[in-house]
Structure 1
Amino acid sequence: MRRFLLAVAAVGLGVLLGVLLAPLVLSSETGEPRPTAVDARSQDAVSRNSERDAGGTADATAAAAPEDASAMAAEEPADEATEESTQDPTEEPTEEPTLSPAERADARAGVRDRDIPDAADGTLTVVPGEQDAPAPDADQVLQIRVEVEDGLPIDTDEFTTFVMETLNDRRGWGHDGSVSFARTDAEADIRVVLASPDQVDEMCAPLRTLGLYSCGWNGHAVLNAMRYAQATDEFLEQGSITAYRQYLINHEVGHLLGHHHRECPGPGEVAPVMQQQTISLDRCTPNGWPLH
């Protein structure tokens, strides 16, 4: 009995040793160290830390991206605001056209185009509006009505302003206090009419204006629009187109005031305003004013 019990104990001890020694045998066969309990716990801790670090980095990256994007988005409008602040949002960049002296002269006199047709519509339109005489105490105040034939390239308001400024200029017929001119669109003492050459010939008959000249008679000063727009080469050689237009107005209105034609007083002298300067200067220098 004793021997039986010893045998059973020996077998049990062998089985126990086999179980304990088996991992060591397997580790030596694979060449890998057998992990201890401490190593296993450390490995788990490292794994958990790694996962946490990885997750934290990913979260940080994800969180940083929107912040960076917001920062960039915030910077861009700031740059735009800086650029826009240098400009007036109500101001549109424009380039003002530079007019030549001839274009300025035409604009002042109401001439939109110097190419005037021989015939226009044949209908005269009264320019509306009234204007007081600048010298109401003059010996005589005359009412002027301005009319323009339809179909002419004329700014009627600018033309009317030019006519009245010319008539009431200090060098004009009222320089001596004898007359001052008011404007009306009703019945008038004098009609100043701008018309095409054909219309002028009709209104000036029996005077022979030949499509080239103007006239002042029968209560109206009829200005040839072609001549008003273009002047004459001889006049322009020594004078200006504005001076010619002033001459034309003063000359024809002068007839209605009772003044007659005069001749050039001598070579190099200033032409009298009532000299027919459209036909010839006759060696005089051009002049558009009664007082010079």
Structure 2
Amino acid sequence: MVLTTVVMSAIVGGGALAMRYSAETAATGVQVPSAPDVTASPSQGGTHSPRPSPVPSQPTRSPRPEPTTEVPVAGPGTFTTAQASGTPVGSGPLRRYRVQVEDGIDISAEDAAAEIQTILAHERSWAAHGRGSFQLVSSEADFVIKIATPATADRLCLAQGLDTRGELNCETSEGVVVNLRRWTLGSPQFDGTPAEYRHLIINHEVGHEIGIRTHMGCPGPGQLAPVMMQQIKGLNGCLSNAWPYEKHGRYITGPTVY
């Protein structure tokens, strides 16, 4: 999911994405513009949905320690593009994306692309609820999702004026830069597995892609955190959540945060 939390924005029609900050960028101290999770997000658009109905309140928990899995700090700065493609999932404007993984890390580009494809097709994700269609391609993409070591992510993000401090994700003019540390370990604030947290990274950033320019706050203690909330900065009494929708199709929303 800071800047995320993570996958992860403006709608691009065959050109480069407008510069944005990621959900995790906010934690870096970079000011988030009024029209922009991270991020100065791109195009106008976002829809208003009913506020979530209350759920039983839950006790506040402390952030859990990060797993001790070793994550490479730096890599060569070169990337392999997943040589994979898929059929569009969802309905609405089509957005084509490529997946690239930095060379020398223990993740194959094809495996990462397959996982991201599954995330976008999830029954609680954007595509399943008519907010757009997404297609994995190996060339001529509308945006790129890069998974990079912390040092490489910092360099790519700093080129856009974003200080990610070896910890955060960001958005660039090309698409999303996912910090390998977040992809592998998740977030101490997120009460779920790293695999679930990867849903949050991708769903948050793709939320900007489909036109949701602002972030959301916690709607109330014990309620699910919106996917467009910068959950890595803290949950403020909400329950961590990686999906835009509940199981029965209700959009999880909250107050606008600039």
Residue 226 of structure 1 deviates from its aligned partner by 0.7
Q: Is the 8 A contact 1:125 1:148 kept in 2?
A: yes
What code does the residue aligned with 1:248 have? I
Find the aligned partners of 2:108 and 2:84 in 1 and give their Cα distance. 15
* Structure with larger Rg: 1
- Aligned pair partner of 1:290 in 225, 244, 249: 244
Deviations 1:47-90 (A, max 9, x none): xxxxxxxxxxxxxxxxxxxxxxxxxxxxxxxxxxxxxxxxxxxx
Q: Which amino acid is 1:266 matched to?
A: G
The alignment status of 1:241 with 2:169, answered yes or no, reads no
Q: Give the deviation of 1:279 after TM superposition.
A: 2.4
Structure 1 distance, partners of 2:111, 2:80, is 15
| Structure 2 residue runs without a partner (length 5+) | 1-67, 247-258
Separation in 1 of the partners of 2:209 and 2:174?
7
The DSSP-based 3-state class of the residue aligned with 1:234 is coil
**Which runs of structure 2 are paired with 1:118-157 in the superposition (5 Å)?**
118-135=73-90, 138-157=91-110
Q: 1:150 to 1:290 in 2, by over 3 A?
A: same
- Taking only aligned residues, the RMSD between alpha carbons, in angstroms, comes to 1.7
Report SS of the residue matched to 2:171: strand
Whether the 8 Å contact between 2:218 and 2:238 is mirrored in structure 1 is yes
**Contact 2:80-2:109 at 8 Å conserved across structures:** no
Cα 1:261/1:217, change in 2 over 3 Å: farther
1:263 alignment partner, one of 217, 221, 229: 217
State yes or no: 1:279 paired with 2:236: no
Q: CA deviation at 1:172?
A: 1.1
Q: Which ranges of structure 1 fall in alignment gaps of 5 or more residues? A: 1-112
Structure 1 distance, partners of 2:170, 2:208, is 8
TM-score, reference length from structure 1: 0.57
* Aligned twin of 2:167: 212
The answer to whether the aligner puts 1:225 opposite 2:180 as a matched pair is yes
* Matched position secondary structure for 1:233: coil
Distance 1:204 1:177, change over 3 A: same
Aligned residues between the structures: 176
The amino acid across from 1:244 in the alignment is: Y
Give, in whole Å, the separation in 2 of the partners of 1:199 and 1:253: 22
CA distance in 1, matches of 2:189, 2:130: 33
Which of the two has greater strand per residue?
2
State which of 128, 133, 158 in structure 1 corresponds to 2:111: 158
- For the residues of structure 2 that align with 1:155 and 1:124, how far apart are their CA atoms? 11
Q: CA deviation at 1:257?
A: 2.5
**Residue aligning to 1:173:** 126
Which 10-residue stretch deviates more, 205-214 or 254-263?
Answer: 254-263
Partner of 1:252: 205
C-alpha distance 119-268 of structure 1, shift in aligned 2 (>3 A) = same
Q: TM-score, normalized by length of structure 2?
A: 0.64
Asked whether the 8 Å contact 2:89–2:127 carries over to 1, the reply is no
Equivalent-residue separation in structure 2 for 1:217 and 1:258 (angstroms): 16
Is the Cα–Cα contact under 8 Å of residues 74 and 150 in structure 2 kept in the other structure? yes
More divergent stretch after superposition (142-151 vs 262-271): 262-271
Higher share of residues assigned helix: 1
| 8 Å CA contact retained: 2:84, 2:110 | no
Q: Distance in 2 between matches of 1:287 and 1:174?
A: 17
Shift of 1:190: 1.6
Q: Runs in 1 of length 4+ with deviation above 3 angstroms? A: none
* Residue type of the alignment partner of 1:169: H
**Alignment counterpart, residue 182 of structure 1, candidates 106, 127, 135:** 135
Offset at 1:214? 0.6
User: 1:143-198: CA deviations, max 9, x gaps?
Assistant: 11000011111132221111011012221112322311111111101211100111
How far apart in 2 are the matches of 1:278 and 1:125?
Answer: 28
